[in-house]
Structure 1
Amino acid sequence: MVKSQSSTLIRCPVSDVFGFVVTDFVRNYPRWSPEVQKLTPLSSGPLAVGWKARQVRIDQGRRSEADFKVIALEPERRVCFKGIKDPFEINYFFEPQQGHTRLTFSFELAKLNFAMRPFEKLIRVAVKDATERVVRDLRLLAERELGQTPTD
């Protein structure tokens, strides 16, 4: 199992950050995660438990396609995505902090396929780097678009 978690403080209220991440997910996800080359909703309507999408990604030169679904959604607190065929789970947690938002992003890969096991240490490092990049890029994008001067 490969797990990683990163957190950042976004200088915007939880309601705004949650809206940016969840309400506008289809528009914004490829923007804070530029390795997502294409995101196609497989469900209509807003994100809700059971909502599905397909993503095409290019990670370190490797193309992959994965379908995923929302398995938990707590307004202004949490959204969780899980791979439909692929063994991954992604969580975004939103916590109010003095008018701002503590955003925590976690990624879990339940198992590595046999061919990837020799590279587990490298994969762990890549996943940790990716979680840190996600929260950094999401913070910069959200603060800029929600009217705050991005913090470094």
Structure 2
Amino acid sequence: MFNLGSMFNLGPADPVVGKKSILIRLSAAEIFKFIGDDLFHNYPRWSPEVQELECLTDGPVKSGTIARQVRVDHGQRSESKFRITIYEPARRLAFAGVVEPYRCLYELQPQGREGVTELSFTFELLELKAFMRPFEPLVRSAIQEGATRTVENIKRLVESGTPGTPGAAARP
């Protein structure tokens, strides 16, 4: 039997992953407050592609919290919902698309030096649509650049002021 899927390599593809780590001169607890507890205030600050962000569940940010975001990436507008899948204060924060196949993971690892933490960020696009597969190298490059920009933006924001305090980290 003739198989178009194998002929055009349309079977399941490996996820497209971007990962980057950076050292930050703050405790894991302070960084987690910024990225976890104050997610709805700060996420658009470290990821300026986020044009709208809305919490769809009641209460503080926790595992199971659902949000809606509108992003503009490279001129393309997209809307998605995501769910917080891991919420471990001072350790890990993860969220995943409710319908869209993506995951984000922020991991914090205190270093031997007091007050220094390694922040690792991983973005996984779990499925690349068939029409995008010819552009996979460009997609991989854009996702890796986005991962690098994410950790650099978080570092700049949290080291420039009091993490989580509205306006404190926005100083030039």
2:160 pairs with 1:144:
yes
2:126 pairs with 1:106:
no
Q: Is the 8 A contact 2:83 2:98 kept in 1?
A: yes
Structure 1 unaligned regions, length at least 5? 148-152
Range with greater deviation from structure 2 (113-122 or 80-89): 113-122
Q: Is the 8 A contact 2:36 2:89 kept in 1?
A: no
What SS class does the counterpart of residue 145 from structure 1 fall into?
A: coil
For the residues of structure 2 that align with 1:68 and 1:24, how far apart are their CA atoms? 16
**Structure 2 counterpart of 1:48, from 44, 58, 62:** 62
Equivalent residue for 2:170? none
1:7 Cα deviation after fit: 0.6
Instruction: State the TM-score, normalized to the length of structure 2.
Output: 0.83
Overall identity of the aligned pairs, in %: 44
Q: Is the 8 A contact 1:96 1:102 kept in 2?
A: yes
Higher Rg of the two aligned structures: 2
For the residues of structure 1 that align with 2:68 and 2:153, how far apart are their CA atoms? 21
Residues 92-129 of structure 1 show CA distances to partners (whole Å, capped at 9, x for unaligned) of 00111122111000000111111211111100000000
CA RMSD of aligned residues (A): 1.0
Moved segments of 4+, more than 6 Å? none
For the residues of structure 1 that align with 2:84 and 2:94, how far apart are their CA atoms? 6
Q: How is 1:18-33 mapped onto 2 (pairs within 5 angstroms)?
A: 18-33=32-47
1:88 Cα deviation after fit: 0.3
How many aligned residue pairs are there?
A: 147
Matched to 2:69, the amino acid is: Q
Equivalent residue for 2:132? 116
Q: Is the 8 A contact 1:79 1:92 kept in 2?
A: yes
**Structure 2 counterpart of 1:61, from 75, 98, 123:** 75
Equivalent residue for 1:74? 88
Matched to 1:37, the amino acid is: Q
Structure 2 unaligned regions, length at least 5? 1-14, 164-172
